[in-house]
């Protein structure tokens, strides 16, 4: 404990850092789950309605694509501020973990949807044609051909999205969402306690590393076949 | 019976209709192996995909048995497709599934849930294609020939009455091609399955097909029994395919026999006549002399055939030709 005190003189409450870690993980977990829940169907929709695909619908594709592009082109910190009334309407607060999740999901789901679309496009046309020849319905093709065949790419997309979300949660800290970003901003930036900054950055690096390693492991497992 | 009635197909590209298949009618009989041969771009992939309506015709009707495929709504069409197996040049197996799961896939799509039923049928199918030991492997662990065998087992899973083969051997080496063709012929014999195959190799047609249609730039230029088309090709495209399958024959046709005395004739023997000593007997009886310039004895599917290019001399040539025709030997005069 003494060594910690000499190395990080300003940090008197390590418990606060622990709570911030948990907050970050909660925001990450919650927003990642919801981003997948929204982004996966949206990505499938983008894929299916695209030009020359199984259910080409140029107008629907154009609208969905535009929506995704708009949400992706707004920097996350701006998106968060712009979305405040929506956030308040959805979860009854603009602050804390609950207040952070709507903008995180609205920021990450379109991003993930694009990654899903790209991963699905990697599935060989021939395999889709073969399942059509076997009498598969559209739903059977999505459920039993497209998603399982693309799972390597889909898990890679989840990994990239999770890491992007770590960045978003840290930005969210600046406008009161809590977590490691909030600590870094309040103590490290506003109060010049650079040891706080150092510890939070180190923790964020470890988190991103762990996510990437886990993601890579899952992707290699499925890519092998 | 597969029946095409006044079918044609064109693709819309940049607002213009590009014809892929000119209007045609064609019948394919139950239990036969029907080959469609053509160069790439001739329209053969389109033609085979019309049968299970992976491609919709621009006009005309297509019947499979008594069912008018072109009149079916989506759910009924899916049910019909389950009765038509298909294999592909690049196999198109699910990379994420084991061999056994790939073979079980069409049965699962058709709603079969009983694992015991699935396992029994998969074992049966893998035994038929000789892959029992590979059930738990993934497609990436198999050779091309093995992958195509998995494709065949998968295509047979729902006990179809028709098997469509889309360039099924084009990605395989000659030995593997031979063994896959043998398997197809065996399936045709034992399961009484109608097989429609497309290929750009006359040798594939010669080995397994009963009848063949030659497709050239969207037009069926010639069709009939393989022996007829193979021994007496009428159209230039057909002759090119036949010559590719018989390089030595092609050379003999080109070689100048001008300095060879006598009448140059090509004799074709088929089936039993191949095995009778007709030529020797006729030569003895009519006192002619003959000189063999080129020749070949082989099989068209199960039919032995021979083709000899001869120079014949002597007073009795006309009588000899009449006697040979009498013995059901086909004769073409190449000179004079």
pLDDT at residue A196, as a whole number: 82
Shortest CA distance from A137: residue in chain B: B78
Phi, psi of A182 (to 5 degrees): -60, -45
Sequence spans of domains, chain B: 2-245, 255-333
Output the pLDDT for position A136: 96
Q: What per-residue string of b and e applies to A65-96 under the rule 16 or more CB within 10 Å gives b?
A: beebeebeeeebeebbeebeeebeebbeebeb
Taking the model in full, what pTM does it have? 0.87
Which residues in chain A touch residue B93, judged by CB atoms under 8 angstroms apart? Answer: 127, 130
From A35-44, A64-73, A197-206, B29-38, the region with the lowest mean pLDDT:
A197-206
Beta carbon pairs, A and B, within 8 Å: 64
Which positions 62-101 of B are in contact with A (Cβ < 8 Å)? 78-82, 84, 86, 88, 90, 92-97
CB contact under 8 A, B90 and A151: no
Q: What integer best gives the mean pLDDT of chain A?
A: 90
pLDDT digits (tens, 9 = 90+) for A140-177: 999 999 999 999 999 999 999 999 999 898 888 777 77
- A134 touching chain B per CB within 8 A: yes
What 8-state DSSP symbol labels residue A134?
T
Task: For residue B95, list chain A residues with Cβ-Cβ distance below 8 A.
Answer: 127, 149, 225
What number is the ipTM of this complex? Answer: 0.85
β-pairing verdict for B263-270 and B330-333: antiparallel
* pLDDT one-digit tens code per residue, B290-329: 888 888 888 888 888 888 888 888 888 899 999 999 888 9
Contact assignment for B92 to A140 by CB distance below 8 Å: no
Average pLDDT over residues A178-183: 83
Taken in order of first residue, the domains within chain A and their CATH numbers are: 14-223 (1.10.3720.10)
pLDDT beneath 70: ranges in chain B = 247-258, 336
Inter-chain contact B109–A130, Cβ cutoff 8 Å?
Answer: no
Give the pLDDT of residue B250. 54
Given CB atoms, is B113 within the 8 Å cutoff of chain A? no
Q: Is A136 on the interface with B (CB under 8 A)?
A: yes
Q: Does A210 touch chain B (CB under 8 A)?
A: no
State the CB neighbour count (10 A cutoff) for residue A146: 25
What is residue A42's predicted lDDT score, i.e. its pLDDT? 97
Q: How is domain B255-333 classified at the CATH fold level? A: Alpha-Beta Plaits (3.30.70)
CATH class of domain segment(s) B2-245: alpha beta
Q: Does A133 touch chain B (CB under 8 A)?
A: yes
Mutate which of B83, B109, B155, B164 to test chain A, going by most A C-beta atoms within 10 A?
A: B109
Tell whether A126 lies on the interface with B, counting CB pairs under 8 A.
yes
Nearest Cα neighbor of B30 from B61, B59, B63, B57 is: B63
pLDDT band, residue A81 (cuts 50/70/90): confident
Cα–Cα separations (whole angstroms), residue B301 to A61, A105, B202, B203, B207:
52, 64, 12, 10, 5
* Closest residue, chain A, to B142 (C-alpha): A225
* φ, ψ for residue A153, nearest 5 deg: -65, -35
């Amino acid at each position: 404990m003494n060594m910690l005190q000499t190395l990080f003189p300003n940090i008197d409450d390590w418990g606060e850092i622990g709570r911030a870690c948990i907050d970050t993980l909660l925001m990450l977990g919650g927003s990642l789950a919801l981003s997948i829940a929204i982004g996966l169907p949206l990505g499938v929709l983008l894929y299916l309605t695209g030009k020359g695909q199984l259910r080409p619908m140029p107008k629907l594709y154009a609208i969905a694509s535009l929506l995704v592009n708009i949400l992706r082109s707004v920097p996350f910190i701006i998106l968060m501020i712009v979305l405040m009334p929506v956030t308040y309407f959805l979860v009854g607060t603009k602050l804390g973990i609950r207040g952070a999740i709507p903008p995180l999901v609205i920021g990450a789901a379109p991003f993930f949807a694009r990654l899903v679309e790209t991963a699905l496009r990697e599935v060989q046309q021939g395999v889709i044609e073969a399942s059509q020849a076997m009498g598969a319905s559209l739903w059977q093709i999505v459920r039993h051909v497209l998603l399982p065949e693309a799972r390597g790419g889909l898990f890679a997309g989840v990994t990239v999205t999770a890491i992007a979300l770590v960045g978003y949660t840290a930005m969210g800290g600046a406008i009161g969402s809590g977590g490691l970003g909030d600590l870094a901003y309040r103590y490290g930036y506003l109060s010049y306690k650079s040891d706080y900054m150092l510890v939070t950055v180190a923790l964020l690096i470890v988190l991103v590393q762990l996510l990437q390693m886990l993601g890579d492991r899952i992707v290699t497992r499925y890519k092998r076949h | 019976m597969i029946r095409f009635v006044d079918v044609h197909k064109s693709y819309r590209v940049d607002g213009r209709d590009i014809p892929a298949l000119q209007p045609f009618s064609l019948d394919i009989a139950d239990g036969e192996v029907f080959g469609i041969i053509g160069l790439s771009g001739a329209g053969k992939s389109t033609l085979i995909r019309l049968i299970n309506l992976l491609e919709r015709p621009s006009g005309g009707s297509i019947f499979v048995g008594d069912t008018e495929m072109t009149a079916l709504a989506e759910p009924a069409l899916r049910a019909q497709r389950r009765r038509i197996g298909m294999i592909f040049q690049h196999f198109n197996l699910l990379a994420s599934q084991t061999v056994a799961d790939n073979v079980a896939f069409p049965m699962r799509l058709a709603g079969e849930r009983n694992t015991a039923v699935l396992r029994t049928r998969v074992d049966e199918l893998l035994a038929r294609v000789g892959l029992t030991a590979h059930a738990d492997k993934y497609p990436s662990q198999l050779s091309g020939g093995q992958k195509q065998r998995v494709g065949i087992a998968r295509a047979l899973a729902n006990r179809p009455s028709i098997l469509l083969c889309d360039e099924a051997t084009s990605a395989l080496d000659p030995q593997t091609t031979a063994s896959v063709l043998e398997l197809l012929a065996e399936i045709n014999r034992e399961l009484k399955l109608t097989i429609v195959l497309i290929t750009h190799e006359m040798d594939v047609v010669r080995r397994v097909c009963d009848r063949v249609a030659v497709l050239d730039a969207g037009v069926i230029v010639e069709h009939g029994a393989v022996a007829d088309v193979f021994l007496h090709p009428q159209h230039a495209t057909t002759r090119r395919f036949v010559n590719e399958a018989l390089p030595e024959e092609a050379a003999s046709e080109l070689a100048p026999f001008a300095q060879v005395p006598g009448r140059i004739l090509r004799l074709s023997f088929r089936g039993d006549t191949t095995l009778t000593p007709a030529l020797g007997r006729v030569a003895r009886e009519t006192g002619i002399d003959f000189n063999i310039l080129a020749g070949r004895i082989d099989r068209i599917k199960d039919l032995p055939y021979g083709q000899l290019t001869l120079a014949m001399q002597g007073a009795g040539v006309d009588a000899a030709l009449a006697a040979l025709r009498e013995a059901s030997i086909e004769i073409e005069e190449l000179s004079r």
